């Protein structure tokens, strides 16, 4: 019995040992996600830590925690971001950074190279420089055509044979003048099979070198902004051997701003400039069949024959701005009618709108019309042609017809202090003469809103013959025997029935009126005005014989077949009423008697004849002061034209919005344009934003579990699982032993 118990205990212990072994093995083989997640960022303070971080493919961002001396090599197929972190990275004996993979450099800090023939950055892969200062602090090469010229410790600060992008927060420096600051392409050995070196400069500050930017054989460079300064007495800000485009930037050089040469298939020598600000003794030097084309930009001296066809270098106070020539001139009017002694202004618009060309104005006959800066002054009746012509010969014309002044005959009026014998109609409106004159002028000019086509045609023929045009107001009793008037009268009689109710005796017409505004010459009536642009006030004087107790007077109008009851105002003694209208046709003065009495027979009043007014003398032209117009050109910090405004002498220009520049704050415009007295070129002034003004975020350490703190313990989670299983097994052993004790009681 004891032996059986011992065997049972032994077997149970063996089973527990086997289970524990399996648990330990399973824990060691648990999936990757159960282990603590490794960080993708590393902060390094030594050369060894830096090299280890580069070799660790799980690290995507490396941040310098201290100044380090090392030759950094980014291998092929490695993608990484290097944050300079305000520290300095200095080489030992080779390139400070040699990139063969994919590298992004960020943050403030310095990348320095102190060795001869080596660069701060040498790139054959893909690199983006978003921040940092790059230099060769021990550069000693000199090129000045003197006995001091020589190599010494010298090379490029940046050397690119891959793909390089440089952005606004970057500074590149080279104290010497023997080597170029930036080399893009191949100094020697290039063939058409060589990989094209691509350099894109979006901004930044670049100072020094024999050539500040050298685009060598098989190089393609695109400059979209930045500040470039070269002080070498035998160098240039830009040297191009292959393909280069410049659309913006500020370029300053002691000798040449731009220099181009051509060496065949690997050195095409094609340089295209569409913008930028270039200051130097000579802006261009082109040799060996180089193809330099200028279609924009601002230059300190005449750029010469390099300006492309269709463009011109405009001299603005000694600075030459290249802008397109006008391809089209459009005038605000192609035909114009002006009354003798009056003036109207033509506006010339040029296409394209960014041209700096101006127009000159001429008249084909100054005895008929003169022109000054687009302002046309009519001298005598007749026809003249006004021409606006650009410097390059593009022109547009306007036919100007000068007419004699339109006369307005004396308007019929009523003296309300005197009684009238018959119904009398007049005008009671101080502005009526001005309104009628304005309408007549528009009809003479061909406006179709206020007269029929036949009338406008007749007026035009009379004007071309040099005849004077007169406008007059005619008010008379309408002839109801005429078919048109008779039809209108029938409509009015029908409408009168609605004015009386059953307890009213009658509503009668006192007189039918024919009110017209006539357009005529000295010899004939040409037509009539159908309507006015605004209403005119008329007055009707009522004779005493028509006035009666309780009698109410109204005015009805028939126009285009529609009957309208007009609002009227009666004076205090009931002797006259007024109404407003701008339409001319058949009118009726009607009255309504409230008492049931036989209506008084309607008298047949006759209007008093209208006296003929004296002729209005022709006004003499008023001399106009001459106006000088100046060009005010607003450009950005790179010389690109933002706005061109033409401003009258002593007038003020309106500034555009200054472009935002990363890392800088707009301060003001460098030239006062509140009172313009000459052509102006206005530039923005910026100030650099200091580092203390920028908000720096403290990087946080990544964690695999947002709810679990990172303790730094890298012990395998599987081991803890195994130990937990062992604990359970131990509890099982105790339980078995206790069970055996119970069995022994039996």
pLDDT digits (tens, 9 = 90+) for 366-383: 999 999 999 999 999 999
pLDDT in tens, 182-224: 999 999 888 888 899 999 999 999 999 999 999 999 999 999 9
pLDDT of 32 strictly over 80: no
pLDDT in tens, 278-298: 999 887 877 768 899 999 999
Confidence of residue 707 (pLDDT cuts 50, 70, 90): very low
Residue 692 has a pLDDT of 60
pLDDT in tens, 89-101: 999 999 999 999 9
User: For 145-163, what is the mean pLDDT?
Assistant: 81
Nearest Cα neighbor of 538 from 516, 518, 560 is 516
Nearest Cα neighbor of 280 from 296, 263, 297, 268 is 297
Residue 629 has a pLDDT of 83
Q: What is the 3-class SS of 4-36, one letter each residue?
A: HHHHHHHHHHHHHHHHHHHHHHHHHCCCHHHCC
Nearest Cα neighbor of 461 from 407, 517, 523 is 523
User: For 131-152, what is the mean pLDDT?
Assistant: 80
Class of CATH domain 328-403: mainly beta
Q: How many CB atoms lie within 10 A of CB 746?
A: 5
CB-CB contact of 408 with 432 (8 Å): no
Confidence of residue 521 (pLDDT cuts 50, 70, 90): very high
127-141 exposure pattern, b = at least 16 Cβ within 10 A, e = fewer = bbbbbbbbbbeebeb
Sheet holding 641-648, edge to edge: 641-648, 629-635, 680-682
Cα torsion 50, 54, 55, 56: sign: positive
Confidence of residue 34 (pLDDT cuts 50, 70, 90): very low
Task: For strands 470-477 and 424-427, give the pairing.
Answer: unpaired
Residue 504 has a pLDDT of 59
Residue 742 has a pLDDT of 33
Q: How far is CA 503 from the centre of its chain?
A: 73
Nearest Cα neighbor of 134 from 186, 81, 181 is 181
Question: Phi/psi at 216 (nearest 5 deg)?
Answer: -85, -170
pLDDT of 107 strictly over 50: yes
Question: Hey, what are 287's tokens?
Answer: 């040799």
Shared fold status for 328-403 and 629-692: yes
pLDDT of 744 strictly over 70: no
User: For 397-421, what is the mean pLDDT?
Assistant: 91
pLDDT in tens, 526-573: 999 999 999 999 999 999 999 988 888 999 999 988 999 999 999 988
* Residue ranges of E strands in 571-654: 576-583, 586-593, 629-635, 641-648
Confidence of residue 305 (pLDDT cuts 50, 70, 90): confident
Spatial separation of the C-alpha atoms in residues 90 and 68, rounded to whole Å? 6
pLDDT in tens, 453-479: 999 999 989 988 888 999 999 898 999
Spatial separation of the C-alpha atoms in residues 103 and 95, rounded to whole Å? 15
Q: Which CATH architecture has domain 629-692?
A: Sandwich (2.60)
User: For 59-69, what is the mean pLDDT?
Assistant: 98
Question: Hey, what are 62's tokens?
Answer: 């490396």
pLDDT of 26 strictly over 70: no
pLDDT of 740 strictly over 70: no
Residue 389 has a pLDDT of 97
**Which whole-number Å values give the CA distances from 70 to 204, 553, 626, in the listed order?**
26, 110, 73
User: For 324-342, what is the mean pLDDT?
Assistant: 95
Residue 64 has a pLDDT of 98
pLDDT in tens, 422-433: 999 999 999 999
Confidence of residue 695 (pLDDT cuts 50, 70, 90): very low
CB-CB contact of 529 with 435 (8 Å): no
* Residue ranges of E strands in 524-660: 525-529, 531-541, 551-559, 562-566, 568-570, 576-583, 586-593, 629-635, 641-648
Q: Where along the chain do its domains lie?
A: 2-35+714-745, 139-308, 328-403, 410-593, 629-692
Arithmetic mean of pLDDT over the chain: 84
Nearest Cα neighbor of 297 from 283, 277, 280, 317 is 277
pLDDT of 309 strictly over 80: yes
User: For 607-623, what is the mean pLDDT?
Assistant: 47
CB-CB contact of 335 with 401 (8 Å): yes
Helix (H, G, I), strand (E, B) or coil at 508: strand
Nearest Cα neighbor of 245 from 307, 292, 302 is 292
User: For 6-28, what is the mean pLDDT?
Assistant: 46
The DSSP 8-state label assigned to residue 739 in this structure reads H
């Amino acid at each position: 019995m004891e032996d059986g118990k011992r065997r049972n205990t032994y077997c149970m212990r063996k089973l527990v040992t086997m289970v524990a072994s399996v648990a330990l093995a399973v824990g060691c083989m648990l999936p990757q996600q159960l282990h603590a997640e490794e960080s993708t960022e590393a902060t390094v303070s030594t050369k060894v830590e830096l090299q280890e971080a580069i070799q660790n493919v799980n690290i995507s961002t490396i941040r310098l925690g201290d100044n380090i001396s090392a030759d950094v090599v980014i291998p092929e197929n490695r993608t990484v971001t290097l944050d300079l972190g305000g520290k300095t990275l200095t080489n030992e004996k080779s390139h400070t950074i040699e990139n063969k993979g994919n590298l992004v450099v960020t943050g403030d800090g310095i990348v320095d190279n102190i060795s001869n023939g080596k660069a701060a950055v040498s790139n054959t892969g893909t690199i983006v420089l978003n921040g940092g200062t790059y230099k060769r602090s021990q550069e000693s090469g000199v090129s000045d055509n003197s006995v001091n010229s020589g190599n010494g410790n010298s090379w490029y600060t940046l050397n690119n044979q891959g793909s390089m992008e440089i952005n606004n927060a970057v500074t590149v420096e080279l104290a010497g003048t023997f080597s170029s600051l930036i080399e893009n392409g191949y100094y020697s050995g290039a063939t058409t099979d060589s990989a094209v070196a691509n350099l894109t400069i979006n901004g930044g500050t670049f100072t020094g070198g024999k050539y500040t930017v050298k685009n060598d054989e098989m190089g393609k460079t695109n400059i979209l902004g930045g500040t470039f300064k070269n002080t070498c007495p035998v160098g240039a800000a830009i040297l191009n051997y292959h393909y280069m485009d410049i659309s913006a930037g500020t370029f300053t050089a002691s000798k040449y701003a731009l220099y181009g040469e051509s060496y065949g298939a690997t050195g095409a020598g094609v340089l295209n400039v569409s913008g930028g600000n270039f200051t130097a003794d000579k802006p261009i030097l082109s040799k060996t069949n180089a193809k330099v084309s200028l279609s924009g930009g601002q230059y300190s001296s005449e750029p010469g024959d390099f300006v492309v066809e269709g463009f011109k270098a405009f001299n603005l106070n000694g600075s030459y701005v290249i802008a397109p020539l006008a391809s089209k001139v459009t005038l605000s009017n192609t035909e114009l009618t002006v009354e003798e002694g009056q003036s109207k202004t033509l506006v010339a618009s040029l296409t394209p709108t960014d041209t700096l060309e101006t127009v000159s104005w001429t008249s084909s006959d100054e005895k008929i019309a003169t022109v000054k800066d687009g302002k046309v002054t009519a001298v005598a009746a007749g026809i003249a042609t006004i021409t606006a012509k650009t410097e390059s010969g593009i022109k547009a014309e306007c036919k100007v017809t000068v007419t004699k002044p339109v006369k307005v005959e004396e308007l019929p009026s009523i003296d309300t202090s005197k009684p009238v014998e018959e119904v009398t109609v007049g005008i009671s409106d101080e502005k009526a003469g001005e309104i009628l004159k304005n309408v007549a002028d528009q009809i003479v000019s061909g406006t179709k809103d206020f007269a029929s086509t036949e009338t406008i045609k007749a007026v035009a023929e009379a004007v071309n013959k040099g005849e004077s045009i007169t406008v007059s107001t005619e008010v008379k009793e309408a002839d109801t025997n005429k078919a048109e008037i008779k039809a209108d009268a029938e409509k009015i009689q029908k409408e009168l029935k609605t004015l009386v109710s059953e307890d009213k005796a009658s509503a009668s017409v006192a007189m039918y009126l024919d009110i017209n505004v006539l357009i005529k010459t000295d010899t004939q009536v040409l037509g009539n005005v159908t309507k006015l642009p605004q209403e005119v006030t008329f007055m009707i004087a009522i004779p005493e014989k028509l006035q009666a107790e309780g009698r109410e007077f109204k005015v009805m109008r028939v126009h285009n077949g529609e009957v309208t009851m007009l609002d009227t105002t009666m004076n205090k003694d009931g002797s006259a009423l007024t109404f407003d209208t701008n339409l001319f046709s058949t009118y009726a003065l009607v009255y309504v008697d409230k008492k049931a009495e036989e209506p008084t027979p309607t008298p047949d009043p006759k209007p008093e004849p209208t006296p003929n007014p004296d002729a209005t003398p022709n006004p003499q032209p008023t001399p106009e002061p001459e106006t000088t117009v100046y060009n005010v050109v607003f450009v950005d910090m790179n010389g690109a034209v933002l706005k061109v405004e033409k401003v009258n002498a002593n007038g003020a220009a309106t500034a555009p919005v200054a472009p935002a520049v990363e890392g800088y704050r707009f301060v003001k415009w460098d030239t006062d344009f509140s009172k313009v007295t000459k052509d102006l070129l206005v530039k923005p002034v910026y100030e650099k934003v200091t580092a203390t003004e920028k908000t720096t975020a403290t990087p946080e350490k990544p964690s695999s579990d947002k709810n679990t703190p990172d303790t730094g313990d890298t012990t395998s989670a599987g081991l803890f699982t195994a130990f937990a299983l062992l604990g359970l097994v131990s509890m099982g052993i105790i339980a078995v032993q206790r069970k055996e004790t119970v069995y022994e009681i039996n």
